[in-house]
Amino acid sequence: MSPAELFALPFMQRALIAALLTGLAAPAIGTFLVQRRLALMGDGIGHVAVTGVAIGLVTNTSPTWAAVVVAVLGAVLIETIRERGQTNGDVALALLFYGGLAGGILVSGIDGQSAASLNRYLFGSLTTISAGDVIVTMVLSIAVIGLSVGLAPQLFAVAQDQEFARVAGLQVRAYNLLVAVLAAVSVTVAMRTVGLLLVSALMVVPVATSQQLTRSFRTTIAAAMVLGAFASVGGLVLATFASYKANVAPGPTIVLLALACYVVAWPIGIWTRRRARLSEPFAEGQIPVHEACDEHPHAHGPGCGHLAVPHDDHVDYVHDGHRHAEHGAHYDEH
């Protein structure tokens, strides 16, 4: 089968549409997670969604919708624990992380058959997406993209400085919950593409790549979305071509391609930052706290010929218009 025929197949086109949209949606919301230094939140939600998928499989309902519901609940729970409790975000994530994965494996074990199909969600199976799934994916990812781009000024302000946002009259808690819910939705959207275990990569790696080269938030989020779409579509195409020779899964290919972009961008980022530093002028008018004077062969002491001035707990010696104070083996300017 030639590549042209292969890409003309309906399942392949469905896979391409799903890959493109998830590649755009995941980094869009991922940028706000990275901005709040919650880069692993996507991973935590992904693990919670495992339980949702398992419940959907066992009860013979839609695994996607079950995952959406459970992931949203999990995300809201993480946000609530983080905000209300003494626990910090990190620990809240860890609790949900393990609970979700253990719950998913336990539930799927109850019904022996579903363990194999759980794999499809853990590692992604772009090529088994049905027409109905594609429509759900399209609706959900367009909603995620629309909200995270449309509300970007508000979400940016909340993620940048929560206290300022509160005094500016923004509903900080509502926006935080919105980010959590959007993250949960994009996790469930992306689970068919890259799988629940790798979902966070599509939310974080394009952002990490683009911020190597950008100076503003707007270009960071735009570049992350472009990179995410490039990585997911490119990864799918690569995996398709490679499948003539070997059995290559699209999910890991997408993630590895995104990481390859990072590997390319990283040294460029270091180089440009270095250049930016070199072009910086010296910090204007810094006042040294401790200014040691240069070579000082003369040793001050009582009767040395310089005017002695008591200065708090020590003695300064007036020396050509400045005052020198002994400090260990050298003299300081006072």
Partner 1 sequence: MTTLDMAAVAISNGSVALGGRPVLRGIDLAVAPGDFIALMGANGSGKSTLVRALVGLRPLVAGEVRLFGTPLEQYDDWSRIGYVPQRATAAAGVPASVWEVVAAGRLTRRRLLRPLSRADRAAILDALEVVGLADRRRDAVSNLSGGQQQRVLIARALAGEPELFFLDEPTAGVDLPNQQVLADTLAQLKSRGATVVLVAHELGPLAPLVDRAVVLRDGRVVYDGAPLRDHEVHQPWFAEPHTHHHHHDAGTKQTDHVPHVGSPIDRPRGQNR
Residues of this chain that interact with partner 1 (CB under 8 A) are: 31, 34-37, 39, 150-151, 153-154, 156-157, 159-161, 163-170, 207, 211, 214-218, 220-221, 276, 280, 283-287, 307, 309-312, 316, 318, 320-323, 333-334
Least spacing, CB of residue 247 vs partner 1, in Å:
37
Q: Closest distance between partner 1 and the C-beta of residue 157, in Å?
A: 4
Nearer to partner 1, 31 or 108 (CB): 31
Between 85 and 132, name the residue whose CB sits nearer to partner 1.
85
Residue closer to partner 1, measured from CB, 302 or 310: 310
- Taking the complex as a whole, how short is the minimal distance between the CB of residue 123 and partner 1, in angstroms? 28
Tell the smallest beta-carbon distance from residue 194 to partner 1 (Å).
Answer: 22
Q: What is the DSSP letter of 76?
A: H
Q: Which residue has the tokens 């626990």?
A: 87
Name the minimum Å distance from CB 205 to partner 1: 14
Nearer to partner 1, 130 or 160 (CB): 160
State which residue, 14 or 300, has the beta carbon closest to partner 1. 300
* Rounded alpha-carbon distances, angstroms, from residue 178 to 66, 76, 78: 19, 9, 13
Quote the CA–CA distance of 278 and 240 in Å, as a whole number.
45
Largest distance between two CA atoms of the chain: 101
Pick 102 or 309: Cβ nearer partner 1: 309
Of 56, 98, 49, 55, the residue nearest 74 (C-alpha): 49
Reduced to 3 states, what is the DSSP secondary structure of residue 315?
strand
Residue 312 Cβ vs partner 1, minimum distance, rounded to whole Å: 6
Helix runs in the chain, H state only: 3-8, 10-35, 41-58, 63-84, 89-110, 114-123, 131-150, 152-160, 162-167, 172-190, 199-210, 217-242, 250-279
Please state, in angstroms and rounded to a whole number, the distance separating the CA atoms of residues 242 and 38. Answer: 35
Give the 3-state secondary structure of residue 326.
Answer: strand
Please say which residue, 118 or 183, places its beta carbon nearer to partner 1: 183
Specify the 3-state DSSP secondary structure of 206.
Answer: helix
The nearest distance, CB 104 to partner 1, in angstroms, is: 29
